[in-house]
Amino acid sequence: MNPLLTPFDTAPFSKIKNEHFKPAFLQAIEDARAEIDAITVNTAAPTFENTIEALEFSGQQLDRVSSVFFNLNSAETNEEIQKIAQEVSPLLSEFSNDITLNEALFKRIKSVYEQKDQLDLTVEQDTLLDKKYKSFSRNGANLPEDKKQRLREIDTELSKLKLKFGENVLAETNSFEMHLTDENDLDGLPEGEKEAAAQMAKSKNKEGWLVTLDYPSYIPFMKYAKNRELRKKLFLAFGSKAFHNNEFDNQENVLMIANLRHERAVLLGYPSHAHFVLEERMAETPDKVYVFLNELLVKAKPAAEREYKQLEDFAKELDGIDQLQKWDGSYYAEKLKQKLFDLDDEKLKPYFKLENVIAGVFKVAEKLFGLHFTEVFDIDTYHDEVKTYRVTDDKNNLVSLFYADFHPRAGKRGGAWMTSFKPQYVKDGENIRPHISNVCNFTRSTPSKPSLLTFNEVTTLFHEFGHGLHGMLANTTYPSLSGTSVYWDFVELPSQIMENWCYEKEALELFATHYETGETIPMELISKIKESATFHEGMATLRQLSFGFLDMSWHGADPSNIKDVKAHETKAFDGTQLYPDTIETCMSTAFSHIFQGGYSSGYYSYKWAEVLDADAFAYFKEKGIFNKEVATKFKEHVLSKGGTEKPMVLYKRFRGAEPKVEALLKRAGLL
């Protein structure tokens, strides 16, 4: 019996074998098709219930199978799973097109849409109807047959290219390792980092130390290693992923993805892919995005140039460095930060034992939103490192199940993300609760030390947990409007606002205790964390803006004249670059956010959401960071509402006004 085709509540990971996936996809697609057919052959006149709701709740089995499979492909993949992904992605793309381009179905939807003013719908029903109609009209339902056919071809091709892009980045990440046998090469590295590198070498049956391109290995080396040549070697390897003219090269994939996206947009009547995407975003148009990015650029650039000059002078004074290079940035910034604030990660890490930080983020969620997390051991997981929690409210009602997976592995892509195995929705009077997961890549414990997080990793954990709360606290009727199913430039608000608590004394005192002595983090360290929060904020802002400009350069205009990926990128970065360019590296070929993930024409939204989060947190600061009234408003008007209404409507209901960019500039020290 195929475990994926038997009804399940929690994903039955231990029972699933790779050979179960493809038959499960095929069967679930067939069942979903039958559900669609039942809607289109219905002889009754189209109504909201028999058409829009019926469509909304169709294909649930397929959604579950997909979420289990694609989450594994991100967090615990292997060659076999990647091969299955290449086989099933075109099938899913084709099925999705079959629905969108189904004329009988669209006719029924259109019929309901045209009489919506007479239907007396709730706000959420109205949003769902609007979203369903647009998902058809924006994806080709009104096109003539030949153009529909071309749309199908483009979508199938894109689904394969995006997967291939991601596989190449993972392969390149895994294929590089810097094997060191002379301990002097590790000069400057803290003991814990050396130990982790030794452990990595041992795990691969090698003598000495191994440094890889995974963040927990790469970042500390770039930050602390004195050996400039080795930093350069590592930086160039990291920056040139999928840019080697080998079998894993992504240059051709980048050009094909950009051109196919543009062709698709034009086919649908839009000037560019960005015009198509932004129609369903708070930003609305590419022009508004450019105005937004440029407004921040004007404010951040003078600060960034001052910071860069200060860093140059410091490196010259310290080590006689004549020309600061990209592989010097983290190293000298860390040294300068220590000099200015007497603060480095090694002083902070002992206070951030992973287990304590997890307990801390749970405590913050309890104080703000009345949530309680209990670790449970009877839920099936895909790897023995995954922890599972039952999340309840003050009345012991189940709110959510929560999965947490915190360490790097060969089968896991880099970075950190939130995802779900089951959405929240209401059906037949029952509120079905969600199953939410956070996946990160933090340093593992070693024989002598537990997993100790850098402060940056602490904020990452809080960030992803914010996305998690958005999923866990969802309280809507329809799954496609639930949790994080919101406009893309709104989705980062719940995650980014959570990072603010990491800088507050009241919150830090809940969990930042020394892993050996149990001493609470001293006030002077908290003050230094706050003081140093805006350290190099100008340069950090410029870096984020450069990614936003690069994204828009690929998607905001016709890319067909772009022949050279690197040359195009260099031009896009013009105006945001401080360091000399390195010809060996290329960002685009490993820019997974926009070429594999969902951030194409949307990278600006990190900064956009920072404006929202700075403005929202200013409200908490004004009333108290654990103020129940403000927290309840945030929970009721933002976290629980998903995509049921326009984001600005929800935001204004919480805050009483539109957000002001000044809040961000003030917090960043850029005013």
Sign of the CA dihedral running 617, 619, 623, 626? negative
- Do the beta carbons of residue 594 and residue 253 sit within 8 Å? no
On the 0-12 / 13-18 / 19+ scale of CB atoms within 10 A, 138 is: middle
Q: CA-to-CA distance for 670 and 227, rounded, in angstroms?
A: 34
Phi then psi dihedrals of residue 404, to 5 deg: -135, 130
Q: CA-to-CA distance for 472 and 373, rounded, in angstroms?
A: 12
- Do the beta carbons of residue 557 and residue 290 sit within 8 Å? no
From the list 592, 603, 590, the residue with the least C-alpha distance to 553 is 603
Q: CA-to-CA distance for 597 and 547, rounded, in angstroms?
A: 14
Give the containing element (helix H, strand E) for 400: strand 398-405
- Do the beta carbons of residue 574 and residue 343 sit within 8 Å? no
From the list 230, 152, 169, 222, the residue with the least C-alpha distance to 193 is 222
3-state secondary structure of 403: strand
Q: How many helices (H) and strands (E) does the chain have?
A: 27, 9
The first and second tokens of residue 462, run together, are 């809080």
- Do the beta carbons of residue 353 and residue 451 sit within 8 Å? yes
Cα 126 to the center of its chain, rounded Å:
29
Residue 603's CB is within 10 A of a number of other CB atoms, namely: 27
From the list 242, 369, 289, the residue with the least C-alpha distance to 629 is 369
First to last CA, the chain: 63
Active site residue 464: yes
The first and second tokens of residue 298, run together, are 């004007």
Q: CA-to-CA distance for 480 and 128, rounded, in angstroms?
A: 8
Q: CA-to-CA distance for 557 and 562, rounded, in angstroms?
A: 11
**Helix axes of 492-499 and 455-472: crossing angle, nearest 10 degrees:** 140
From the list 255, 206, 214, the residue with the least C-alpha distance to 237 is 214
Instruction: Output Rg (C-alpha) for the chain, integer angstroms.
Output: 25
On the 0-12 / 13-18 / 19+ scale of CB atoms within 10 A, 176 is: middle
Q: CA-to-CA distance for 289 and 215, rounded, in angstroms?
A: 30
From the list 72, 56, 59, the residue with the least C-alpha distance to 11 is 72
Which amino acid, residue 456? N
DSSP letter assigned to residue 282: S
From the list 359, 360, 282, the residue with the least C-alpha distance to 648 is 282
DSSP letter assigned to residue 513: B
The first and second tokens of residue 243, run together, are 């840019």
Q: CA-to-CA distance for 412 and 472, rounded, in angstroms?
A: 24
Phi then psi dihedrals of residue 443, to 5 deg: -55, 135
452: β partners: 353
3-state secondary structure of 63: helix
Given 172, 464, 499, 504, the catalytic residue: 464
Write out the catalytic residue numbers: 464
